[in-house]
Amino acid sequence: MILTGWRCPIRSTKARASLLHLPENAPVLRNFVTAIVAHQVSLRMKRDGLPILLDEFDVIADKAGLGSLIKSLSSDSVKFGICGVARDLNGLVKDHASVERLLEEGAIHVRPMPPDEARAIIYTANARFKGLVFDADAIERIVSLSEGYPYLVQMFGKASVIAANKYGKDLVDRPILEVVLDEIRSGVAFPTLETQYQRAIGNSEHRQLLLHLLAEQPEDNTLFNDEVGKVVLKSVRSDAQGLGVEFIDQLMPRLVDQNYGPVLIRLEDGPGVYDFANPVFRVYVKLRRL
């Protein structure tokens, strides 16, 4: 069920965040949610419950108190769903252990999108577009390059349409896709990811090379073969030194600094074990030309 037909009376995002984090406002929120269930959900929608989805939970910088808030607001008619990366679980529930147990019971690990579902995104676009189609070869290439991330499938698709229109083509084929890839390699196609890339490497060619080595580290070289995305610094030290990159430990701080991303997040699984904060950015780094 998707709740529609009402708006939060607080327009400012910062004001909403402040409201959520002030303990004295918990009764106000409880009354607000109770009123929605009674008047909107039950009377108008003829439903018996309200699911509240907190999407992109990982972008909330300060999660203190949210665990208690969720515990306080949850009831037989109000349930919460949280969408975000798994490492944020402890940040959410550190103030209320019982919430952690509830989340563990209902946690779902979302794996990369299967190729058939990624293809379906473009096939759907083919069916709806008038005068422009993607050929099978281009579709397979986009699916492969996107590595299971639907956002990248959409980004590749948009960039391909722009390139096709630029050259007056009504078919997105391998030559058009190569134009897009050249723009990605040169930092032109995806400006948001390119800005993140430039902010991460600064003016250091060695840091740039180190970032590429970490992004391209094969998953079977990590210490944890059953988990995706983790990189181990010691696995690239010899390659980096062979390419003339020295003082690696002096290059790493910027990559984990909040002020520059962060690109990497230091994990507690072992010394020198990191995770890319944005897995899509890792794919972009692999596509980007040094």
Is residue 89, in this structure, part of any structural domain at all?
yes
Query: The domain containing residue 246 runs over which residues?
Result: 191-287
Residue 15 has pLDDT above 50, yes or no: no
What is the edge-to-edge ordering of all strands in the sheet holding 273-276? 230-232, 273-276, 264-266
What is the distance of C-alpha 221 from the center of its chain? 23
- 199-218 per-position pLDDT tens digit: 999 999 999 999 999 999 98
Structure tokens at 243: 């390419």
Structure tokens at 248: 């690696």
Is residue 87, in this structure, part of any structural domain at all?
yes
In a shared domain, residues 58 and 102: yes
DSSP string across 201-214: HTT-HHHHHHHHHH
Given this model, what pLDDT does residue 220 score? 45
Q: Give the mean pLDDT of 137-143.
A: 97
Structural domain tally of the chain? 3
Q: Please report, rounded to a whole number, the percentage of residues in the chain having pLDDT higher than 70.
A: 77
Q: Which of 155, 185, 215 is at the close of a domain?
A: 185
Residue 12 has pLDDT above 90, yes or no: no
Given this model, what pLDDT does residue 96 score? 57
Secondary structure of residue 160 in the 3-state scheme: helix
Asked if 32 and 59 count as a contact pair (C-beta separation under 8 A), the reply is no
What length is written for the chain? 290
- 155-164 per-position pLDDT tens digit: 999 999 999 9
In a shared domain, residues 195 and 153: no
Residue 76 has pLDDT above 70, yes or no: yes
In a shared domain, residues 78 and 58: yes
Angstrom distance (rounded) from CA 91 to CA 272: 21
Is residue 19, in this structure, part of any structural domain at all?
yes
Extract the runs of DSSP E, i.e. beta strands, from the chain: 50-54, 78-82, 133-134, 171-172, 230-232, 264-266, 273-276
In a shared domain, residues 68 and 89: yes
Given this model, what pLDDT does residue 103 score? 63
